[in-house]
A and B are shown apart, each in its own frame.
Chain A
Amino acid sequence: MDFSVIRDNLDYFLIGAYPDGPLGGAALTLVLSVLSGIAAAVLGLVLGIALSTLKGWPRGILIAVLGFLRAIPVLMLIFWSYFLLPILFHVDIPALFTVVCALSLIGGAYLAYSVHAGIQSLPDGQWAAARALGMRPVQVMRLIILPQALPIMLPSFLNQWISLIKDTSLAYVIGVGELSFVATQVSNRVMVHPTEIFLFVALVYFVFCSSLDLLANFATGRQQVKQR
C-alpha cells in the first residue's frame, strides 16, 4: 500500500478546489451534515408533536405525507427534485439546497415517529396532573412532557444523524463535490490506488460519526450528573 496518494491530494480531499473553486470534500460533507441534521431535528420535533396532538383528518394527511417520505429512497428524491422541478415549475433549485432539503425531509419524517414514540412513552398521568395544575396544552408540552421525553429520544436522534452523515454521499448523483465524489475523481485519475483512497474516506466518515457519538454521550453524561 502506498499512502502518498492521500498526502498528495489531502487538501483536495478535505476542502475540494476551494478557494479557487466551490468548497468540496470533507468540509462540504460536514456542512451538508450539520445543515440537514439541524433541519431534520427541527422538522422531526414539530411533526412528531403534531403527530401526537393532531386528531381526525389533519392527522390522516400528516400520516400519509410521512409514509410517503419514509417510503421513497433518498437517492430518488434528490435526483427527481433536481431534474424535474425546473421543468414542472420553472424553478431552478441549486444542487446543495436540493440535497439538504431531501435529507432533512426524509430524516425529519423518520424522527417524527421517534418523537411521537417518546411522547407516547410517558404515562397519561403526567398530562392529567399538569392539566390539573391549570397549565395550557402548550405549557404541558414545553414544561412537563418534552423535558422528560427528549432524553428518551436521544438515541433515535443519534441514529438518524449518523445515517444522515453517510447519506450525504448520495449527493454524487447530481454532481455535488462532497467527500466520496472528490475521492472518486482522484481515484479515477490515479487509477491504481482505490484501496488506499477509499480506506481514507471510510476513516473520515468514521471520525465524523464517532465524534458525534462521543459528543452526544458527553452531553447526556453531564445531563445525568445534573439530575442526580
Chain B
Amino acid sequence: MKKLTALTALTLAVLSGLAHADRLEDIKKSGVLRVASFDSNPPFGFIDAKSKQIEGLDVDYAKAIADKLGVKLQLQPTNPANRVPLLVANKVDLVLANFTITPERAEQVNFSIPYFSSGQQFIVKKGTLKSQDDLNKWRVGVDKGTVNEGVLREKFPGAKVVAYDDTPFAFTALRNGNVQAITQDGPKLIGLLANVPDKDKYEVPPFTISNDLIGVGLPKGEAALTEVVNQTLVELESKGQAQKIYDTWFGPDTKTPLTRLYKIGDKS
C-alpha cells in the first residue's frame, strides 16, 4: 500500500496540472463542501457512539469553514495514507485530518495557515523506557504515510520501524508486544490513551522529537479557496471560537486535558 500510495501521489501530481481551477466557485455552486477527516483518531476525528457520525476537533473546524461559506458540510472518512490522493483526485475539497504542514506535501497540495501545533511523542509500557537511546534498539510502530515515520528514521536510525495503517492498529501491536513503542503526535497519543481502560499500564514519556504545525490541506493552486479558509481561521481565533473548539476536546473538563500552547496566527 505504501508504494502504491506514493506512486499514485506522484502520478496524480504530474497529471493534476491539467485540471482546471476555481474550486471556490464550484463549492458555492454545488452548495456542498466535501471534507476528508479521520474516523479513528479521537479527539481529532472519530465515529461518535451515539450520533454515528464523524465528530472531533477537526470536524468542528470543518463545520466553521462550511458555515462561513454558507454551504452544507459533507464528510468523508480518510486515513493517513489517503489524504493527498483524495485532494489531488478531486474527491474532496479540503482535508482536515491532523495534517502536518511539510515542504514535500506542499509540492502536491496547498496548505492553510496552521490551526494546531503538536510535537511527536511516544507511548511505551510503563517503566520500560530507561533512556531515549533505548529507542535505537527497539521495534517502533508508526502510521504509514505520516511525517512521524521520517522523523523517527532520522532521529533514531537504529530503531526497527514497523509501519501500520492507523494509530489504533499500531497501539494494538504495542499491546500485543509486536513493537516496544509507538510514535505519533502527542495530542493524538493522549487522545488514544484516554479511551484505553488499562491506560495506567502505559505512559507518554515527557519528551518530543519534533514540532509539527497542523493545517488544512487544499487542492494545489486554489488561491481563492485557500484565502477564504485562512480568513475563517483568523476570524475563529479573534472571536474566541477557536478557543471554544479547543476547550471542547482538550479543555480542563475533558478526558484529555492539555494546555493550549499554540494560537492561530502565532509564529512557531
* In the assembled complex, B146 has its CB within 8 A of some CB on chain A: no
Highest count of chain A CB atoms <10 Å: which of B18, B47, B76: B47
Residues of A within 8 A of B19 (CB): 87, 90
Q: Report yes or no: A87 in contact with B4, Cβ–Cβ below 8 A.
A: no
Residues of A within 8 A of B128 (CB): none
The interface bits of chain A over 151-189 (1 if a CB of B lies within 8 angstroms of the residue's CB, else 0) are: 000000000000000000000011101000010111111
Please give me the residue from chain A that is nearest to B193 by CB atom.
Answer: A191
Given contacts A87-B15, A88-B15, A190-B195, contact A21 B52 (CB under 8 A): yes
Interface residues of A in 181-208 (CB under 8 A from B): 182, 184-192, 194
* In the assembled complex, B8 has its CB within 8 A of some CB on chain A: yes
Segment of B60-68, B81-89, B203-211 engaged in the interface with chain A: B81-89
Q: Which of B49, B77, B78 contacts A189 (CB 8 A)?
A: B49
Residues of A within 8 A of B196 (CB): 191-192
Q: Which of A82, A84, A175, A187 contacts B11 (CB 8 A)?
A: A84
Given contacts A17-B53, A20-B52, A189-B47, contact A86 B8 (CB under 8 A): no
Q: Report yes or no: A191 in contact with B171, Cβ–Cβ below 8 A.
A: yes
* In the assembled complex, B168 has its CB within 8 A of some CB on chain A: yes
C-alpha spacing A184/B47, complex, angstroms = 11
* In the assembled complex, B46 has its CB within 8 A of some CB on chain A: yes
Write the nearest CB–CB distance from B3 to chain A, whole angstroms. 11
Number of A-B contacts defined by CB within 8 Å: 84
Residues of A within 8 A of B46 (CB): 185, 188-189
Q: Which of A83, A86, A189, A194 contacts B40 (CB 8 A)?
A: A189
Q: Report yes or no: A177 in contact with B8, Cβ–Cβ below 8 A.
A: no
Given contacts A83-B8, A83-B12, contact A185 B89 (CB under 8 A): no
Q: Report yes or no: B49 in contact with A177, Cβ–Cβ below 8 A.
A: no
Please give me the residue from chain A that is nearest to B81 by CB atom.
Answer: A173
Interface residues of B in 185-220 (CB under 8 A from A): 192, 195-198
Please give me the residue from chain B that is nearest to A194 by CB atom.
Answer: B172
Interface residues of B in 116-145 (CB under 8 A from A): none
Highest count of chain B CB atoms <10 Å: which of A76, A189, A192: A189
Please give me the residue from chain A that is nearest to B165 by CB atom.
Answer: A184
Given contacts A175-B77, A186-B47, contact A80 B52 (CB under 8 A): no
Q: Report yes or no: B4 in contact with A79, Cβ–Cβ below 8 A.
A: yes
* In the assembled complex, A113 has its CB within 8 A of some CB on chain B: no
Residues of A within 8 A of B77 (CB): 175, 177, 185
Given contacts A83-B85, A184-B40, A188-B40, contact A175 B76 (CB under 8 A): yes
Q: Report yes or no: B53 in contact with A21, Cβ–Cβ below 8 A.
A: yes
Q: Report yes or no: B192 in contact with A191, Cβ–Cβ below 8 A.
A: yes
Interface residues of A in 42-96 (CB under 8 A from B): 76, 79-80, 82-84, 86-88, 90, 92
* In the assembled complex, A12 has its CB within 8 A of some CB on chain B: yes
Write the nearest CB–CB distance from A102 to chain B, whole angstroms. 14
Please give me the residue from chain A that is nearest to B46 by CB atom.
Answer: A189
The interface bits of chain A over 1-25 (1 if a CB of B lies within 8 angstroms of the residue's CB, else 0) are: 0000000110010001100110000
Q: Report yes or no: A83 in contact with B42, Cβ–Cβ below 8 A.
A: no
Write the nearest CB–CB distance from B192 to chain A, whole angstroms. 7
Q: Which of B8, B40, B91 contacts A79 (CB 8 A)?
A: B8
Residues of A within 8 A of B15 (CB): 87-88
Q: Report yes or no: B76 in contact with A189, Cβ–Cβ below 8 A.
A: no
Q: Report yes or no: A84 in contact with B197, Cβ–Cβ below 8 A.
A: no
* In the assembled complex, B39 has its CB within 8 A of some CB on chain A: yes
Interface residues of B in 164-195 (CB under 8 A from A): 166, 168-169, 171-172, 192, 195
C-alpha spacing A22/B47, complex, angstroms = 14
Residues of B within 8 A of A86 (CB): 89-91
26 contacts between A and B (CB under 8 A): A12-B47, A21-B52, A79-B8, A80-B8, A83-B8, A83-B91, A84-B8, A84-B89, A86-B91, A87-B15, A87-B90, A88-B15, A90-B19, A92-B91, A174-B82, A177-B77, A185-B39, A185-B46, A185-B47, A186-B47, A187-B168, A188-B46, A191-B197, A192-B197, A192-B198, A194-B172
